[in-house]
Amino acid sequence: MMPNVAIVGATGAVGQEFLKILKERNFPVEELRLLATKRSAGKKIDWQGRTLEVQETTAGSFKGVDIALFAGGSASTEYAQAAVADGAVVIDNSSAFRMDPEVPLVVPEVNPEDVAWHKGIIANPNCSTIIMVVALKPILDTAGIKRVVVSTYQAVSGAGREGIEELEAQVAAWTKGEALKAQVFPYQIAFNLIPRIDVFAEGDYTKEEWKMVKETRKIFHRPDMAITATTVRVPVLRSHSESVNVETERHVSVEAARAALAKAAGVVVIDDPAQDKYPMPWYSADQDQVFVGRLRQDFSCENGLNMWVVGDQIRKGAATNAVQIAELLL
């Protein structure tokens, strides 16, 4: 019997991506219930030959629902428990439950077995974390990991549709010689970099940086794993890039690391310096794989490795990962 599926936040960027990915992956759906805010209620959306009307999300929206995909935001804390109470398994894209010890935090290529111990809610990790851990898993399995240093270059769509619109508006204003307005981001993002994503927190690291640290430890079941992160917003429309430096527990050659990555689920290696080939956000957009290149030894330490990692944060970093979790439930 096919499951009844609800999408909470169906009209937003991640919600719309859910619709695309359910279709692309031929996910079996009996009833698809589209839920959003009161403002979006009544909107009609065509999907797979069906015309569906968006309903306002309420505590009573989940009767008969088997799987509820939450796109993120405040709806998760407001309605996730109500969905579970009505018998649905919630796959949540917000940060609300990620660090709850009772809630598995899952990336299907990395720790699919953790789905088994859910108690009604399964958390989707932060987009930057997902992209990084998919690339780290083959290295961990091959040589162990002692320490990770990551710097991210995150697209404006990580801030939602409004982030895209602000970059486009600023570029258009710049070409006309008009004043550039910043509302979504704290400063102009066009032709600029902003080394702050989310609010500042403990030790003057941002919340986004701490997410990468704490979530990676939980996913790998390594609470003592040494990780440090710097997250930066860049004027790219879609796909996050990451410079990842790994110090391994055992020596691994660049060739062995490349071979392990090439065999790994969900990873595509593009690494040919002689031909000027490496991953870039423009070419990874609208794809589900994590792309890895610029593999090279870090000569500053005994077992160091550098790599450049790129992934579409709306797909693999959010919607696709959630649908893959739903596939594990089936």
So which residues are the catalytic ones? 127, 240
**Distance between CA atoms of residues 203 and 78, nearest Å:** 30
Scored b (16 or more CB within 10 A) or e, 213-231 reads bbbbbbbbeeeebebebbb
Residues 199, 209 contacting (CB under 8 angstroms) = no
Sign of CA dihedral 205, 211, 212, 218: positive
The Cβ of residue 111 has, within 10 Å, a number of other Cβ atoms equal to 17
Residue owning tokens 């008009």: 178
Q: What are the start-end ranges of the H helices in the chain?
A: 13-24, 75-85, 127-143, 161-175, 207-220, 254-263, 281-284, 320-329
**Max Cα-Cα span within the chain:** 61
Q: Residue 312's closest CA among 158, 159, 118?
A: 158
Alpha carbon distance 256, 244 (integer Å):
17
CA torsion through residues 73, 64, 11, 267, sign: positive
Q: How far apart are CA 231 and CA 284, in angstroms?
A: 19
Q: How far apart are CA 206 and CA 112, in angstroms?
A: 28
- SS3 call for 116: helix
For 30, other C-beta atoms within 10 Å of its C-beta total 11
| Structure tokens that stand for 52 in this block | 């569906």
